[in-house]
Structure 1
């Protein structure tokens, strides 16, 4: 009997703002998972998440918002990370679980505000990572250009925002958008990009997500 494929769990529960791009994101991540030979489970049920975290390789929080975890799911996420499991946060994953300090430490930063949706430029500062190695040093993109309450500390910043390329940036020249770290037990990858449904049809963005998933799964 061949071994079962590793599992990817995709979590999209929202209790605050809900992004219209979530269905497109689910479809895209499920397709990437299939191509990477993951058995994917998409859910918005914290009980299902709690159960699935015990046997998954990587969990993806896709534009979650508000308080989305039960005490049992919080404990399961802690155990998943402590056991070396991977975590990927996409876009509004930074708008999640404000009342749980562990989650803030896990993700690395918390969302503060964003200007209007508009084109801008991502500055790719680390092209040695699987999520960024396909990108040029300057990546033109359309998004909400998240500001964070504070810059993440103790992380490997992979890309940031060039605030001179759009209106309304609030973090200055050091404005991280994409980072990773391994300080919580397992690998963590976060990208602030992914507000629009069109993002999830963009080949460069899909390759960005694929690289982040591969990193979180220990395949980078």
Structure 2
């Protein structure tokens, strides 16, 4: 091959690589723009057969206000038929506000939820949301774990486990809070715990059906993580209606919404 032919071939290869790079950049830009086009927040409250918390109205009112303050267009529903891809595509974050038991009725609805997470959707779970979809392991992986049992409500000593996270950096080392302390199974190893309760500080655990020795001393009650393309935040506290007027609880949820929606980064 003479020098002219070689140079011409090299130019063609360079042009091809430049075109590939432009296409890749265009795809990345489109994906980023699609994320930026999500200006909504969906608050979901469905409860299947079983216990229904009386805190739902209070949690919805509080989260609606937080979402509005964050500049998000807020919708509220308990209808699982709402979960279809075209509709979910406009939401930056889904908030499961004290959902429980079967959150969905069909596999198509579960597929829509899964697709939303895979395409970078944000998720926030509050309190009994961890008791949702108890036969679907994927949901537990998204939320970070699955609720199994709790001792009677009591005054909890809540330890701050991460003192530098934007979620918790302004909190004292320990908090006193009346609530239920959830025990979880199917914990996602990727979760980053923010708050915890020491198992040894709990009272009235003797009637629990769990093998408490199989659980660690520090029980997580708030965490965040990334999973399957999405951002997820969960707060196990929040059993009582008045919790949704508590500045500490509200600030945790506010920061969870901002982070899960992509409006705030971890630093």
| Common topology (TM > 0.5) | yes
Question: In the alignment, is the contact (CA less than 8 A) between 1:8 and 1:40 conserved in 2?
Answer: yes
Per-residue deviation, 1:162: 2.6
Q: Is the aligned partner of 1:77 residue 2:113?
A: yes
Quickly say closer, same or farther: Cα 1:75–1:25, change in 2 above 3 A.
Answer: same
Stretches of 4+ moved more than 4 A in 1? Answer: none
Q: Is the aligned partner of 1:158 residue 2:194?
A: yes
Q: Is the aligned partner of 1:53 residue 2:88?
A: yes
**In structure 2, what is the equivalent of residue 13 of structure 1?**
46
**In structure 2, what is the equivalent of residue 94 of structure 1?**
130
Q: Give the structure-2-normalised TM-score.
A: 0.77
Quickly say closer, same or farther: Cα 1:37–1:177, change in 2 above 3 A.
Answer: same
Quickly say closer, same or farther: Cα 1:152–1:121, change in 2 above 3 A.
Answer: farther
**In structure 2, what is the equivalent of residue 124 of structure 1?**
160
Q: How many residues are aligned here?
A: 218
Per-residue deviation, 1:11: 0.4
Per-residue deviation, 1:164: 4.0
Match of 2:60 among 26, 39, 52: 26
Q: Which structure is higher in helix share?
A: 2
Residues 52-71 of structure 1 show CA distances to partners (whole Å, capped at 9, x for unaligned) of 31210000111111112132
The separation in 2 between residues aligned to 1:198 and 1:89, in whole angstroms, is 18
Match of 2:243 among 199, 203, 207: 199
Gaps of 5+ in 1: none
Residues 71-101 of structure 1 show CA distances to partners (whole Å, capped at 9, x for unaligned) of 2221111111111110011111110101112
Q: Is the aligned partner of 1:40 residue 2:84?
A: no
Q: Give the structure-1-normalised TM-score.
A: 0.92
**In structure 1, what is the equivalent of residue 182 of structure 2?**
146
Per-residue deviation, 1:183: 2.4
The separation in 1 between residues aligned to 2:80 and 2:217, in whole angstroms, is 38
Q: Which has the larger radius of gyration?
A: 2
Per-residue deviation, 1:219: 2.1
The separation in 1 between residues aligned to 2:150 and 2:80, in whole angstroms, is 28
